[in-house]
Amino acid sequence: MGVSNITVAEYRNQTTAQLVKLGERQISIFKSIQRVEKHIEKLNGQVEENKTNLTKISTVGSIGILIMPVIVSIIMRLV
């Protein structure tokens, strides 16, 4: 392990460069997270809409199942 012979100014410049790179990466990560959050919001809206539609379909199906025997019974009495 050798001792590196760099000046304080060089060390400071290297450290500053590293911090700038980290700052740029952090900004990039935050932008990616924002895009993901927007996409998740969109998907959550679609899930909510699908949930509502399934509830409507289930309601109509249940009503149909309850009314069909009554209609068949009425038709059978008329025939």
Dist. CA 46–CA 63, nearest whole Å: 26
- pLDDT tens digits for 41-75? 999 999 999 999 999 999 999 999 999 999 999 99
Structural domain of 71: 7-79
Q: In which band, very low, low, confident or very high, does the pLDDT at 78 lie, cut at 50, 70 and 90? A: confident
Q: Structural domain tally of the chain?
A: 1
Whether pTM > 0.75 for this model: the answer is no
**Per-residue pLDDT at 1:** 47
Is residue 2 domain-resident? no
Task: Give percent of the chain above pLDDT 70.
Answer: 95
Sign of CA dihedral 56, 60, 66, 67: positive
**Per-residue pLDDT at 3:** 55
Is residue 1 domain-resident? no
